[in-house]
Every structure is written in structure tokens, then in C-alpha cells.
Amino acid sequence: MKKILNILMLFAVLLSVSSCAEVQKGELAGGAPTDPVTDLTATPDYGAVVLHWTNPVDTANLYYCKISYVDASGKTVNQKVYAGPSADSIPTAVCSGFADTNTYTFTVRTVTYGGVESAPVTVDCAPLDAATIKDGVFASIECDTIEYGFCIKWVNETGYPTNIVVSYTADGVDRTETIDATETGSRNFGDFTSETTVTAYAVNPYSGAQTESKSWTILPKTNPFETYDPVYAKDYITFSGGGGSNSVTVSKVDDPKSPVHYAFSTTGGDPYTAADGLNQRVQGYVCVFRYKINQDADCEFFWCNSPYAASGGRETGFKLEKTSTWATFIYDFTADCRKHTWTGAPGYSVRFDIGNGSGINLEVKNMRWTTLNEIHKLGYKAQNED
């Protein structure tokens, strides 16, 4: 009998422990709410209100904080700010998209993993007027002529979402594009040469309200180094492969506008190719060419007194930056040529080292030697000039 009583007592103890565990588990899963947030404040911003608060000290069962408010249309808007590992790790929420300056009531509740909400904490705040931001952005819009296109610039120091709509005609095709002008910036539009009228206006993306438009007549600039000029036929640098190559394939591009258009593709380490010997003494030591390249590449010219005469210590490094559109490289090598006694006499050459490994695809056209004086007359300067 005593043995049976002991068994019953043990069973009762186990049942009690299990029951307590279930209660604790239920509370942790959301049976009891966590404490509410404290120190709730609201700061007005353009078209927005920024909320700050302090999470409860005990965050073991805090899943997230729910922010609620009723917008201008009468719709209840809810957003969640998930709790971090500490009490104050994520104490901020931005409520945005307001198109008026009405006062709104913002309610913050803590929510457990089981979905149980705490007592509400509220704060009232009115967003700043965002309606005029588009007008300020619009007033700042400028349009500048650039090579083969134009550049739209604007200023937006508020950080409030604003769009700029730009319309123009390029080579007979009407185009309209929308720019995200939330931050101060600029954007280039290009790859055409015909005169065009550019029209722009600003829009509030939330309300749809837009400004009046402004227009500019643009005639894109052309690049004097884009076109092959027979006058400089003997100054162009050519690559026929006679000077030797390593880990790079060189091919001549079929270009009716330029007989000195080449494609280079690197296939391994230490890629280089030697240019052909010069036909005549160079007029100057400024190298200019147009290029496109699929990645940044650290390049070098080795100064050779013949196409095969590259030697360590007689080189100058420069960088070609990744660009999918044609860019202009202008570099004054005068000091380097003097240092390495490279006079640019007939038969002299350069070895062109392209990056440090495989996978580089480079196009170059109209590479030639010229003078700094000519560069300046054309309105350009070398990239290494002070």
C-alpha cells in the first residue's frame, strides 16, 4: 500500500511540474503582454514623422513594436519595427508619405511572439509641408551640354522623395525618362548628335502634383578625338602584332570611320602587346585615344627604342576606368619620356601592358601622339595636369 502511495505522489509531482512548464511556456508564447514602450517622441519631417522610443527592459518575449496611425483617407496604417537583441537596438520608425500638414496620432504597442499586444502609448505630431519641395527641386534644375548629349543637374537637400521627368528627341525618336531626385545629383543623357529640345518638370510621387516645365535647346558637343583625321595619319599608333604579345589577343575592328580601331582581350597573366614602330618623330608626348573597357585596369607603357626593346625600369603606369560608353584618355607623358630618354624617333615604340590577368576586354581607337598645346586649343586637358 505504501509503495502505491509513493507512486501516486511521484505522479502528482510530475503532473505539477508539467503544468507549471505549460504555464510558463504559454506566457512566453504570448500568454502575457510585455511592458509598453517608454519615452515615445515624434519629430516632424518633410512629408513624414520620425518616432523614437525606448523598448522595455525585459525583451525576452518582445517580438516587435507595432506602429499604427490613421492616414488622410481614413485607412489605418500599421508598420512593424522588429526588436533587436538589446532593449534599445531598434528604437526608431519613420512614417512617411504624408501630403498634408494635419496632426496625426501615432500609437506604439509592443507585441509578443504569441501576438499579445501591450497597452498603447500615443503621441501626436504634424508632418512638415512637403508640397513645396518639388518647387524647390524644380527651381534648381539645370541642363548642360556635354559630349553627345546633355546633363540634368538638381538640388534636393530635404531627402524627400521627388521625381524629375525629362523629355527630349534623339535622332528622331521621342524619349521620356523619370529621374529619382530624392537626393542632390545629376544624370547624363547621350549618344546622339542632333539638336534637340529638352523639357523637364518635377513631381511629388505621393500626391502626383507636378510643377510647370522648363525647356532648353541643346546641340551636343562632338569629341575631336572620336574621328580619324588623315592629317595626323603618321602620328597614330598601330598594332599589327609584329612587336610581339603575351596573354592578349589583338584584332582590328571593322570600322569605316577609323582604320586604327582595335580590340584587346586578355587571356592570362602579364598581358601585353607591342605597338608598331613610329613612322615619324612624334610632335609631342601627350597620348590621346578613345576607349571602352569592361573593368578597371592598371596599365603601363614600356618605353622601347624599337618594338622589341622593352625592359624593366622603363615604364609608366596609368589607369583605365571601367566604362561601357566611349571615353577619352589624355595623358601627358613628357616628363616620363625625358626620364627614360624616349625621344619618339622613327622606329621607336611602346609596349602596352593591359591589367594583370585574364578577362579584360578593351577597345581603343584613334590612339596618337600630340602636343599639350593642341589639347588646350581643343578645350581639353591631360588627366595628370595640375
Contact 137, 202 (CB under 8 A): yes
Q: What is the pLDDT of residue 32?
A: 82
* Longest alpha-carbon distance in the chain: 121
3.30.230.20, 2.60.40.10, 2.102.10.10, 2.60.120.960: which CATH number matches 133-218? 2.60.40.10
Which residues, including other chains, have CB under 8 Å from residue 316's CB and lie 6 or more apart?
300, 301, 303, 333, 336, 340
In the numeric block, the cell 613612322 is attached to 279
- The SS3 assignment for 179 reads strand
Query: Does 3.40.190.10 match the CATH number of domain 38-125?
Result: no
**Residue 360: pLDDT band by 50, 70, 90 thresholds?**
very high
- At 2-54, the pLDDT tens digits run 444 444 444 444 444 343 433 333 344 446 888 999 999 999 998 899 999 99
**Alpha carbons 337 and 303: distance in angstroms, whole number:** 8
The number of C-alpha atoms within 13 Å of 347 and in the hemisphere containing its C-beta is 4
**Residue 86: pLDDT band by 50, 70, 90 thresholds?**
low
- At 268-282, the pLDDT tens digits run 999 999 999 999 999
Q: What is the pLDDT of residue 15?
A: 42
Domain ranges in the chain with CATH number 2.60.40.10: 38-125, 133-218
Report residue 260: phi and psi, to 5°.
-120, 60
**Alpha carbons 192 and 114: distance in angstroms, whole number:** 61
Q: Does residue 362 carry a pLDDT above 60?
A: yes
Record the pTM: 0.57
**Alpha carbons 152 and 149: distance in angstroms, whole number:** 10
Mean pLDDT, the chain, integer: 89
Q: What is the pLDDT of residue 298?
A: 97
**Alpha carbons 240 and 307: distance in angstroms, whole number:** 11
1.20.1250.20, 3.30.70.3450, 2.60.120.430, 2.170.120.20: which CATH number matches 230-377? 2.60.120.430
What is the signed CA dihedral for 93, 94, 100, 102, rounded to 10 degrees? 20
- At 325-346, the pLDDT tens digits run 899 999 999 999 999 999 999 9
Contact 204, 182 (CB under 8 A): no
User: Quick one: residue 30, left, alpha or beta (phi over 0 = left, psi -120 to 50 = alpha)?
Assistant: left
Rg, the chain, Cα only: 35
